[in-house]
Chain A
Amino acid sequence: MAARTQAPTPSNHCCRWACWGAAAVLVVFLLWAVARFTSDAPVTYANGEDHFKYGSTGGERSSGIPYSIWMALPELFPRYLPGKGLQSLGFLYEPGRDLPIGVSKRKVMGIDRVFLNCAVCHVGSVRDGPDGAPRFITGMPSNTVDLQGFQRFLSAVALDKDFTGDRIAAVIEGMGTDDWLNRELIRYLGVDLMRDQLLTLRQMFTFMDDEPVFGPGRFDTFNPPKVLLNFRMDNLPVAERIGVCNFPSIWHQRQREGMELHWDGNNTSVDERNRSAAFGTGALPPTLDRPSIRRTEDWLLDAAPPPYPYPIDAALSMKGKPIYAEYCARCHGASGTDFTGELVGKVTPIDAIGTDRHRLDSYSFALCVNQGQLYAAYPAERFQHFRKTNGYANQPLDGLWLRSPYLHNGSVPSLRDLLEPASRRPASFYRGYDVYDPKNVGFVSTVAGEHGKAFFPFDTTLPGNGNHGHEGRYYGTELSDDKKQALLEFLKTF
């Protein structure tokens, strides 16, 4: 009170200015801190295809791995990788990029974070020969990425005593990828948080250890949603426990709207199917980046596969056309672009198609009804179309040449093999090689390794890996060799 009546003195003036100054600095600091720690900005791409390959689904918000840690892990823990870098797990790197296809980046709370997006499972690689350069093809099933291997790599890292803040921070300092503040945050907080998260995930996904090893190009689609809903996996009925299947191609989505989607045809809504898959990229209902995923969805509506790049015998292919029309078109569509056909996109009962039933059985009625609660907070997006079916859906065959190995579990290496009865299909072969075999139409499956990289030996006798079914009179396996050859030639035009 006394100060009020006192005349201002020079020292008082000074004090006041100092106070104002301090306040201003504080305000600026606060603004900076708020801006930094509330930041939420994905790396964006002008081109639709790049957005598909590298754009964010929002998954980094809750599941993101700090970019610096992502970069440091293969350097620090090469002992848990089959070869050098994540390339050795089949991740595809385009020239000049530090992140592989299928990994997106977003700055969340001031730290660049990365996580998987759709492209990790839906971009593949093709080479004409062992010396050819790889062509990365968007929308085709990933034929090289070993996601289970990646998951196991992260689990091994989380358990390793060298996965410490100090070690990681030292590597980050060397890389110069993060500033001092982030480095210290990662050192004292980030690594511990990530370890907890990874160990929780590891615990939740132990059920996968009882399945046959997935290998490249495959994953279990419908047991993870049970984990998402915290079902007791140890109590799961035995019949549900193996759900491993091939990644599908995802072109021409506009024409697929209303079809029975997923291998077992359990959903007829493209949007729901996409949001369901987005859980796999870490995007939860509150964290899904809606505009971004909408852009990807729109891009996929009319995305098309590249034409078969090798010579086609036109005359032979013309001979195959009527055979296709007679045997295949009713279930698989008139051509690679015209999907009309009485049974296209519909489920064929398991007893009729006779393929391995594990994937079908892994999707349960109990899961189906519980999925009705996903996105409950967002009524327009809530899942309403999941159904339990009793078979596998008939797929259109666009880009068929790129979808090897065949059947839902990828148990038949080439189209030529698929036209043989199960007894004459290879009982074991190798997956993960991206060199193409135009003679049999499929990827080369008889080579065990290349340049020190071992390919994945696929054993069709393991549960879930059966290569039976889709055979018999109605499935073309009893055609004459000439007719098979003609049909094979025609299928190259898809």
Chain B
Amino acid sequence: MHLYRCARWLILLAAIVCFALVFGWYKFFREVPQPAFANEGERFKYGSIGAENARGIPYWIWLVLPRVFPDLMPGPGGYKSFGIVWEPGQEIPVGFSKRTIGFPRIANNCAICHVGTWRAGESDLPHVVIGAPAHTSNLQSMIRFLINCAADPRFNADTLLGQIERETEFSLVDKLIYRFALIPLTRSALQKQATQMAWMNRPDWPNWGTGRDDPMNLTKYFMTSQPVDNTVGQSDFPSVWNLKIRKGDGLFLNWSCDTPAVRSVLIDSALGLGAAPDPTVPLDTLNWRLSRRAWFVARMAELDEYLSALAPPSYPFPVDAPLAAQGRQVYAKACASCHEPGQPYTSRLIPVADVGTDRNRMDSWNQAAADQANQKVLEIGIVRPGLVKQEGYQSPPLDGLWMRAPYLHNGSVPTLRDLMAPMDRRPKAFYRGYDVYDPADVGFVTAGAAAERDGWKEDTSVRGNGNQGHLYGTELPAQDKNALLEYLKTL
């Protein structure tokens, strides 16, 4: 009799536990695949790289933050005001992915740094180029915005839900979940990020500005236990098209040849964007081991395949063909040995003493950090050629060069014409991040009221922004420079 009663209670208890588990799984962990994308390009722009699990922000919170905190934004225009690429008719900007894991979440993907735009004039619409550096995006400003939101007393359930409910109807259960779980958890996650990012907010510290981040310091402080040091390494987002010509024995990627293989760059960047499992959440680590890792590795292989074949954009303005043909001769003599794929110095390390460019980016990375980062990646079960430490800068192929302005690793030289000018004739300061193109000098427009309104002022006297070095070709006769400039448009 007693046993029977006990069993009844046990069954009831088991039923409650089962329900709680299923309910919890459904509301917090149930993974809904993203809807199919029309093509790989769309998937590159909006597809998940797996960052939603560990670093996804609840979609509705993300959606209303610019509306709740307009005073913390750089200007009117919601997330567009950070300069990020956003295509008309799309629910989310390029470089964001929306995916339901229990609840809809938003995270970033590769496209946040590697899709760029150009316009022929102020009244033109942005032409979106996949694989181009996101030269208009001020990611640091966006990160700071999120952190500032979390620090603000208005980041509370009443305020956020009040705004969210102007957009959607929540069930009572979802309202409670947001009020008591997602809103406080998101806030504390962002507050934690504030601590993790404190190094970039030191007084008088150089800003990244548009089109740049501090990649090796980000890697160092997020993937390794290296202490915060005094280095700055702000550098331009590179183009990521045509990766096939960047593959081969002895070829390197990343500005300081920090990575010996394309696949490693993809993996490390995606892990850095949040695809890595959260080591503080055992369940997330378990999920990673059981399923996400295999998915992630496969996704990286697909991305590799897509980006390897992705063609660089062709120059959209007229080219003087005979002049370009002359320029080709100049290129063959003056540039090809370091920049033509297959040539002995292309995609290889040029010692900093030779190239003479700003050494801060190179100095922001070190061997110990490389070793630790490699160890961390190995620990989560991913085998890839590891990061290295080198003393110099990479000599990249120049495909799609016109869309890669401003130039040098730190974007310190606005146009190709300026790059061919001697040091003292390069602009000391200019506005970057405005996407109207300047076919005369080959680069984006960097002066004038509109450039000042949309752009960010890069001051080359700031530490890490030096525009010195790479004086190759600066002593060519003027007509050779013109011809070379014309030819470079065709790459």
Partners in one complex: yes
By beta carbon, the residue of chain B nearest A361 is B123
Find B89's partner among A231, A232, A384 (CB 8 Å cutoff).
A384
* Stretch from A80-88, A133-141, A363-371 at the B interface: A363-371
Q: Cβ of B168 < 8 Å from any Cβ of A? A: yes
Find B76's partner among A235, A368, A382, A387 (CB 8 Å cutoff).
A235
Within 8 A of A (CB), among B67-95: 67-68, 70-71, 73, 75-81, 86-93
Q: Cβ of B2 < 8 Å from any Cβ of A? A: no
Q: A366-B81, A372-B89 are in contact. Are A233 and B76 (CB under 8 A)?
A: yes
Q: Shortest beta-carbon distance, A445 to chain B, in Å?
A: 33
Q: A237-B453, A377-B168 are in contact. Are A366 and B88 (CB under 8 A)?
A: no
Q: Cβ of B335 < 8 Å from any Cβ of A? A: no
| A230–B123 CA distance with the chains assembled, in angstroms | 25
Q: Is the CB of A366 within 8 A of B68?
A: no
Q: Is the CB of A387 within 8 A of B88?
A: yes
Max chain B C-beta neighbours (<10 A), residue from A226, A232, A237, A385: A232
Find A230's partner among B68, B93, B169 (CB 8 Å cutoff).
B68
Find B168's partner among A231, A285, A365 (CB 8 Å cutoff).
A285
By beta carbon, the residue of chain A nearest B68 is A230
Q: Is the CB of A285 within 8 A of B167?
A: yes
Q: Which residues of B contact A386 (CB under 8 A)?
A: 88-89
Q: Cβ of A390 < 8 Å from any Cβ of B? A: yes
Q: Shortest beta-carbon distance, B90 to chain A, in Å?
A: 5
Q: Is the CB of B87 within 8 A of A369?
A: yes
Q: Shortest beta-carbon distance, A34 to chain B, in Å?
A: 16
Q: Mark B420-451, 1 if CB is under 8 A from A, else 0.
A: 00000000000000000000000000000000
Q: Cβ of A273 < 8 Å from any Cβ of B? A: no
Q: Is the CB of B90 within 8 A of A369?
A: yes
Find B165's partner among A286, A385, A388 (CB 8 Å cutoff).
A286
Find A366's partner among B80, B125, B165, B169 (CB 8 Å cutoff).
B80
Q: Which residues of A contact B71 (CB under 8 A)?
A: 232
Within 8 A of B (CB), among A112-141: none
| A268–B342 CA distance with the chains assembled, in angstroms | 50
Q: Cβ of A236 < 8 Å from any Cβ of B? A: yes
Q: A286-B165, A366-B76, A366-B77 are in contact. Are A376 and B70 (CB under 8 A)?
A: no
Q: Cβ of B66 < 8 Å from any Cβ of A? A: yes
By beta carbon, the residue of chain B nearest A378 is B168
Q: Shortest beta-carbon distance, A284 to chain B, in Å?
A: 5
Q: Is the CB of B168 within 8 A of A286?
A: yes
By beta carbon, the residue of chain B nearest A360 is B123
Q: Shortest beta-carbon distance, A350 to chain B, in Å?
A: 8
Q: Is the CB of A372 within 8 A of B166?
A: no
Q: Cβ of B63 < 8 Å from any Cβ of A? A: yes
Q: Cβ of A229 < 8 Å from any Cβ of B? A: yes
Max chain B C-beta neighbours (<10 A), residue from A230, A366, A386: A230
Q: Which residues of B contact A369 (CB under 8 A)?
A: 78, 80, 86-88, 90, 93
| A382–B92 CA distance with the chains assembled, in angstroms | 12
Q: Is the CB of A372 within 8 A of B91?
A: yes
Q: Cβ of A373 < 8 Å from any Cβ of B? A: yes
By beta carbon, the residue of chain B nearest A387 is B88
Q: Mark B47-70, 1 if CB is under 8 A from A, else 0.
A: 000000000000000010011101
Q: How many residues of A contact B (CB 8 A)?
A: 33
Q: Which residues of B contact A373 (CB under 8 A)?
A: 63, 78, 91-92
Find B67's partner among A230, A284, A377, A388 (CB 8 Å cutoff).
A230
Q: Which residues of B contact A365 (CB under 8 A)?
A: 80, 88, 125-126
Q: Which residues of B contact A229 (CB under 8 A)?
A: 66-67, 78
Find A286's partner among B79, B92, B166, B453 (CB 8 Å cutoff).
B166
By beta carbon, the residue of chain B nearest A384 is B89
Q: Shortest beta-carbon distance, A426 to chain B, in Å?
A: 31
Q: Is the CB of A232 within 8 A of B88?
A: no
Q: Which residues of A contact B91 (CB under 8 A)?
A: 372-373, 376, 382
Q: Is the CB of B63 within 8 A of A376?
A: yes
| A233–B71 CA distance with the chains assembled, in angstroms | 10
By beta carbon, the residue of chain A nearest B64 is A230
Q: Which residues of A contact B453 (CB under 8 A)?
A: 237
| A231–B67 CA distance with the chains assembled, in angstroms | 7
By beta carbon, the residue of chain A nearest B80 is A366
Q: Mark B122-146, 1 if CB is under 8 A from A, else 0.
A: 0101100000000000000000000
By beta carbon, the residue of chain A nearest B66 is A230
Q: A369-B90, A388-B88 are in contact. Are A232 and B76 (CB under 8 A)?
A: yes
Q: Is the CB of B88 within 8 A of A368?
A: yes
By beta carbon, the residue of chain B nearest A350 is B123
| A364–B88 CA distance with the chains assembled, in angstroms | 11
Q: Which residues of B contact A388 (CB under 8 A)?
A: 88, 125
Q: Is the CB of B90 within 8 A of A372?
A: yes
| New contact pairs (12) apart from A285-B166, A365-B125, A366-B77, CB-CB < 8 Å | A231-B70, A231-B78, A232-B73, A236-B76, A285-B167, A350-B123, A368-B88, A369-B90, A369-B93, A370-B79, A373-B63, A384-B89
Residues of B within 8 A of A (CB): 63, 66-68, 70-71, 73, 75-81, 86-93, 123, 125-126, 165-169, 453
Residues of A within 8 A of B (CB): 62, 226, 229-233, 235-237, 284-286, 350, 364-370, 372-373, 376-377, 382-388, 390
Closest 4 CB pairs of A and B: A366-B77, A377-B168, A231-B76, A369-B86
Q: List 15 A-B contacts (CB under 8 A).
A: A229-B78, A231-B70, A231-B76, A284-B167, A364-B77, A366-B76, A366-B80, A366-B81, A367-B77, A369-B80, A372-B86, A377-B168, A384-B89, A387-B88, A388-B125
